[in-house]
Amino acid sequence: IAMILSAAMMLDHVGENVKADRIRKAIATVVKQGKVRTYDMMRLSGGPKAIGQGAASTVQMTDAILEQLR
């Protein structure tokens, strides 16, 4: 999420505020829905091993954010 937010900040910097806002809103929607959460959001230990415990991978999180942008 932080990397995607960094991209939104870059868009702000070059004057693409509407696009940056869409990205931030997509992230906020995914987080608020709570259906896709990485292990750190679930406060699970074990890092990537926690994916088997119901945590989403970073790819799954990115896909959920991209789906909100479509």
Residues 6+ apart with CB under 8 A from 27: 1, 4, 5, 65, 68
Residues 6+ apart with CB under 8 A from 68: 25, 26, 27, 29, 30
pTM of the model: 0.85
57: containing domain: 2-69
**Mean pLDDT for the chain?**
90
How much is the pLDDT for 39?
Answer: 82
Per-residue pLDDT for 6 more than 80? yes
Q: How many structural domains compose the chain?
A: 1
Q: For 16-64, how does the pLDDT look when each residue is reduced to its tens digit (9 = 90+)?
A: 999 999 999 999 999 999 999 888 888 776 666 667 677 888 899 999 9
Cα angle: 5, vertex 10, 65; to 5 degrees: 30
